[in-house]
Amino acid sequence: MNIHAVRAIYGFEMARAWRTLSQSIVSPVLSTSLYFIVFGSAIGSRITEIDGVSYGSFIVPGLIMLSLLTQSIANASFGIYFPRFTGTIYEVLSAPVSYVEILIGYVGAAATKSIILGLIILATAGLFVELEIAHWFWMLLFLVMTSVTFSLFGFILGIWADGFEKLQIVPLLVITPLTFLGGSFYSIDMLPPFWQTVTLFNPVVYLISGFRWSFYEIADVNIGVSVGMTLLFLAACLIAVWWIFRTGYRLKS
């Protein structure tokens, strides 16, 4: 194991986040705070409790997930796309590092940033609404699994993309709708039956449901199913990454 290399890549990526602090931490925290003010306090006070939880508190897990997903993808995809774009990737490709080490460096850094961001948003939420966390262990596990999985997804996106548009369009056209329709702001059983069934094909539903369960012990789907689906998506991403590295897809000509 080339520990020095992992540390170099990881450190490089973390330094990048530090340089772009306003972009990577401040802006997501600000936008989620706005959600809390608008939906949690202003509108939320007019909405009845859902499953015995006030609306403001109810939306916290979903909002954290929303940031986690978008930031993991944005961070990881940019982290690998930019060196490809500028050509500096040559150095990583010519270095005595294994693909696993490259992955730990890039995806590890992106996931770390997301986890830190998630915890910051959680703390921010505590300032606006009442929070209780029933299962710390599961809460953290979902936080970590989601960050890792979607950082991997972002890594794949960053390798696949051949322009900045693609880099932005996937989060915008795919991830944001999936998150909004994934039960961030409502409980699935508030939907008509037909749409409840459709929703079950949205992987984000399982993440948000499981994550919310770790807070309030209320869930749209069984917690076991949530964990299973998350692991399934993680496995799918790992297989895609394995294939990319095996063939050198879009990394080597």
Partner 1 sequence: MHPAISVKNLSKRYDSGFEALKNVNLEIEHGEIFALLGPNGAGKTTLISTICGIVNPTAGSILVDGNDIVKDYRAARSLIGLVPQELTTDAFETVWATVSFSRGLFGKPANPAYIEQTLKSLSLWDKKDDKIMTLSGGMKRRVLIAKALSHEPQILFLDEPTAGVDVELRKAMWDVVRSLRESGVTIILTTHYIEEAEEMAERVGVISHGEIILVQDKTELMSKLGQKQMTLHLQERIGGIPGSLSAYSLDISDDGEMLTYTYDTHGERTGITALLADLSQAGVKFKDLTTSQSSLEDIFVSLVGKPK
- How far is it, in rounded angstroms, from Cα 217 to Cα 204? 18
Which residue in the set 59, 69, 97, 103 belongs to the binding site for partner 1 (CB under 8 A)? 97
Please identify which residue in the block is written with the tokens 């520990």.
3
Least distance between partner 1 and beta carbon 252 (Å): 5
Q: For the window 111-150, what string marks contact with partner 1 as x by the rule CB under 8 A?
A: ----------------------------------------
* Of 48, 52, 96, 137, the one binding partner 1 by CB under 8 A: 96
User: How many Cα neighbours within 13 Å face the side chain of 56?
Assistant: 21
Q: Which stretch binds partner 1 (CB under 8 A): 83-91, 171-179, 190-198, 221-229?
A: 83-91
> Smallest distance from the beta carbon of 123 to partner 1, in angstroms?
29
Q: Does 253 bind partner 1 (CB under 8 A)?
A: yes
> Could you say whether residue 21 binds partner 1 (CB under 8 A)?
no
Q: Contact with partner 1 (CB under 8 A): which of 22, 46, 91, 192?
A: 91
Q: Distance (Å, rounded) from C-alpha 58 to C-alpha 186?
A: 8
- Count the neighbouring beta carbons within 10 Å of the beta carbon of residue 92: 20
Cβ neighbours of 1 (radius 10 Å): 10
CB of 157 to partner 1, least distance (A): 21
Long-range contacts of 47-55 (CB under 8 A, 24+ apart): 50/186, 50/187, 50/190, 50/218, 51/187, 51/216, 51/218, 52/218, 53/216, 53/218, 54/129, 54/130
Instruction: Choose between 136 and 249: whose C-beta lies nearer to partner 1.
Output: 249
DSSP-assigned states of every residue in 150-191: HHHHHHHHHHH-SSHHHHHHHIIIIIHHHHHTTTSSS-GGGS
**Cα dihedral 23→235→171→224 (10° resolution):** -90
Pick the binder of partner 1 from 34, 38, 43, 93 (CB under 8 A).
93
First to last CA, the chain: 26
Contacting residue, 41, 45, 88, 176, with partner 1 by CB under 8 A:
88
- Alpha-carbon span 110 to 95, nearest angstrom: 21
Tell which one of 22, 52, 94, 137 touches partner 1 (CB under 8 A): 94
* Closer Cβ to partner 1, 143 or 167, answer by number: 167
Please pick, from the candidates 46, 48, 52, 87, the single residue that binds partner 1 as defined by CB under 8 A. Answer: 87
Judged by the rule CB under 8 A, the positions of this chain that interact with partner 1 are 2, 4-5, 7-9, 11-12, 15-16, 19, 86-88, 90-98, 248, 252-253
